Amino acid sequence: MQHDGGDTELVVVNPTFILGPTLTTDLRSSMHLIKAMLDGTMSVAPRARMGVVDVRDVADLHIRAMAAPQAAGKRFIGVADGPTTSFVGVADVLRRRLGPLGARVPTQEAPGEDRPSPIIHNDRARNELGWRPRPVETTIVESAESLRDLGLLAPPDAP
């Protein structure tokens, strides 16, 4: 940017694992995982720890970063408030909040060594841009509900 950027300014937005309601039936990787949990094709949750951010909040963060002159040359991490989670944590939310729709969600995590949970902060985005992400649980539930609402999940009592 310093060499060839001219008057262009660079701001970097680094989102963590992106979830949130889908607007299309053409699913991408993160929604494939949620669908696989809900339809029972994923019988065991992968052993991984990650931050989660809602796709709508990522869009908001991009707009805020683009519109704020003080953001130039900085990096902003897109992650919801609170601790990171795991796929088995996502599964727990789905099972607890979705009733029959969450009946096929895995209850166990793949075997393996426990890894430390990453510590990821969104302080710069919150403090410098006024960004306020949605709670992780809301994002997880609304991701699943969008799959249901688009007809991408078989009814819970289907074989």
What's the DSSP call for residue 70?
Answer: G
- Residue 157's pLDDT band, with cuts at 50, 70 and 90, is low
Using DSSP's 3-state secondary structure scheme, residue 113 falls into coil
* 109, burial (CB in 10 Å: exposed 0-12, middle 13-18, buried 19+): middle
pLDDT, tens digit, 9 for 90 and up, residues 49-95: 999 999 999 999 999 999 999 999 999 999 999 999 999 999 999 99
**pLDDT on residue 156:** 67
pLDDT, tens digit, 9 for 90 and up, residues 21-56: 999 999 988 999 999 999 999 999 999 999 999 999
* pLDDT higher than 60, residue 159: no
In angstroms, the CA 74 to CA 78 distance is 13
- Residue 115's pLDDT band, with cuts at 50, 70 and 90, is confident
**pLDDT on residue 4:** 76
In angstroms, the CA 37 to CA 40 distance is 5
Beta strands in the chain (DSSP E): 12-15, 17-19, 49-50, 52-54, 75-78, 85-86
Query: How does strand 85-86 pair with strand 49-50?
Result: antiparallel
* pLDDT higher than 90, residue 13: yes
In angstroms, the CA 36 to CA 111 distance is 19
Q: For residue 88, which amino acid is it?
A: V
